[in-house]
Amino acid sequence: MGNFQKDISIRNEAVPTRPTFGILIETYGCQMNVYDTQAIFGLLDPSHFSAQEDELAADVILLNTCSVRDHAEHKIFSRIGEIRHRRREAGLPYPVIGICGCMAERLGKNLRKGVNPVDLVVGVDNYDSLPGLLHDILDEVGSLPRAVTGHRADTHYVAPPALYPTNNSHLVTIHKGCDYRCTYCIVPATRGPQREKDPEAILREIRKIVAAGGREVTLLGQNVSAYHWQKELDFAALLEQVAAEPGLERIRFLTGHPRDMFPHLMDTIGQLEKVCPWLHLPIQSGSNRILRRMKRLYTRDDYLGMIEYARRVIPEVSFSTDFIVGFPGETPTEFQDTLEILRAVKYDQVFSFKYSERPGVPAARLEDDVQEQEKKDRLAELIAVQKEIWEREASGFIGQIWTAVVESPARRPKGAWRLRTANNRKVVISGMELEVGDSVSVRITGHQNTTFLGDAI
């Protein structure tokens, strides 16, 4: 059963009269949503709701949505239409359709209007109202407002440990929201101000995961590196406390803001054996002028200095990042500055996006003047340059011996296993009986994109 940091009881609690409803929750966007979906399942009484994978059989379909780019929102509108279309084609009644997540927060009750109105809308801080609201709809009581949004400072979800955690790593949110004001970003509006989860609650949650057999956690938040509990416990101190938990073997975290990666935090990461040496540090652009316009609060030299420091104090550290191409006013030369960052850092993985104007954010006041085709070309060029750099890097790893932990059976080839190193490199090996969680020494024999092939030794 999911619960709350401050013991808020479930609002509008009532028991559906029919025995069980099948519920499908589709998760879009970031890991916060993956965690929240788990938390929603934890909030629903299992004697009245069961997970249903088949969209044609589900009584309720909730879409846990993302607003970060326009495209992500469009996908949801077409998905709503598609769900109803498939039901119609199959001669089946429509399911109850609900929107959760960032779109619910951004668009609220407007989602109940238009071409494809949904039955309910529940924002990121109000999932405790879902049991009551679903009862109200499914049992045709009809007494409650169908759109519940707005931020609540003291609401923190505690999801039950997942049966099949993401990449064998149990997600644990440590804070919500964001206090930065990057000019392109909708997240501060949809997720609200940064609010920390109590370190005691975090540790309790991790103990439950360990008791259920989990050995690895990923500490989650929009800016975990800005974690600060009542001015006395920062992220480095939290890492120390989490690392002291017996039975826990590995700790990852997502996402750090380059601006908060202070030397003492990196020293701590380097010193704590359980903390995995992998840093996902979104840079967004390699041009100082664009970084200023984005309000990222660091320069390219600050960023490169931080990477250099991390390499010095964190053994085997690897990096990944995010880029936005075609931010308003980005010139071809400024885009070349971004490509230079790729060459300087040599990331393991790069996630790159075309700038997408979001209503109401500060950058929406700037003219979105880089043409769509130009954005596409820049994105393609960035991907090609990264591929070339990575091919060279990855070939250099052939013959090395790495330690990696078994995550899951691989999709291909048959009988193979997917493993992950502490610094987040994926390795596929075959030809032996393994179990999820086993630690294996592998000799690297080749690679396909970001996945390595290896032999157990």
Q: Which residues bind ligand SF4 (CB under 6 A)?
A: 178, 180, 182, 185, 187-188, 222-223, 257
Closest CB to ligand SF4 among 184 and 335?
Answer: 184
Give the shortest CB-363-to-ligand 5AD separation in angstroms.
Answer: 7
Number of residues that bind ligand 5AD (CB under 6 A): 12
Binding of ligand 5AD at residue 284 (CB under 6 A)?
yes
Pick the piece of the chain touching ligand 5AD (CB under 6 A) from 14-22, 213-221, 348-356, 416-424: 348-356
353 binds, among ligand SF4, ligand 5AD, none (CB under 5 to 8 A by kind): ligand 5AD
Give the shortest CB-316-to-ligand 5AD separation in angstroms.
Answer: 24
Measured CA to CA, the distance from residue 356 to residue 185 in angstroms comes to 9
356 binds, among ligand SF4, ligand 5AD, none (CB under 5 to 8 A by kind): ligand 5AD
Binding of ligand 5AD at residue 347 (CB under 6 A)?
no
Closest CB to ligand 5AD among 27 and 421?
Answer: 27
Give the shortest CB-43-to-ligand SF4 separation in angstroms.
Answer: 25
Binding of ligand 5AD at residue 324 (CB under 6 A)?
yes
Q: Residues 300, 271: contact at Cβ < 8 Å?
A: no
Binding of ligand 5AD at residue 322 (CB under 6 A)?
yes
Instruction: Sketch the per residue contact string, 184 through 203, with ligand 5AD: x for CB under 6 A, - otherwise.
Output: xx------------------
Among 175, 293, 358, 418, binds ligand 5AD (CB under 6 A): 358
222 binds, among ligand SF4, ligand 5AD, none (CB under 5 to 8 A by kind): ligand SF4
Closest CB to ligand 5AD among 177 and 454?
Answer: 177
Binding of ligand 5AD at residue 325 (CB under 6 A)?
no
Q: Residues 96, 60: contact at Cβ < 8 Å?
A: yes
Give the shortest CB-257-to-ligand SF4 separation in angstroms.
Answer: 5
248 binds, among ligand SF4, ligand 5AD, none (CB under 5 to 8 A by kind): none
Helix H, strand E, coil C: the string for the chain is CCEECCCCCCCCCCCCCCCCEEEEEEECCCHHHHHHHHHHHHHCCCCCEEECCCCCCCCEEEEEECCCCHHHHHHHHHHHHHHHHHHHHCCCCCCEEEEEEHHHHHHHHHHHCCCCCCCEEECCCCHHHHHHHHHHHHCCCCCCCCEECCCCCCCCEECCCCCCCHHHCEEEECEECCCCCCCCCCHHHHHCCCEECCHHHHHHHHHHHHHCCCCEEEEECCCHHHCEECCCEEHHHHHHHHHCCCCCCEEEEECCCHHHCCHHHHHHHHHCCCECCEEECCCECCCHHHHHHHCCCCCHHHHHHHHHHHHHHCCCCEEEEEEEECCCCCCHHHHHHHHHHHHHHCCCEEEEEECCCCCCCHHHHCCCCCCHHHHHHHHHHHHHHHHHHHHHHHHCCCCCEEEEEEEEECCCCCCCEEEEECCCCEEEECCCCCCCCCEEEEEEEEEECCEEEEEEC
Minimal CB distance residue for ligand 5AD: 322
Instruction: Sketch the per residue contact string, 43 through 72, with ligand 5AD: x for CB under 6 A, - otherwise.
Output: -------------------------xx---
Binding of ligand 5AD at residue 180 (CB under 6 A)?
no
Give the shortest CB-79-to-ligand 5AD separation in angstroms.
Answer: 20
Q: What is the contact surface with ligand 5AD in residues (CB under 6 A)?
A: 68-69, 184-185, 282, 284, 322, 324, 353, 355-356, 358
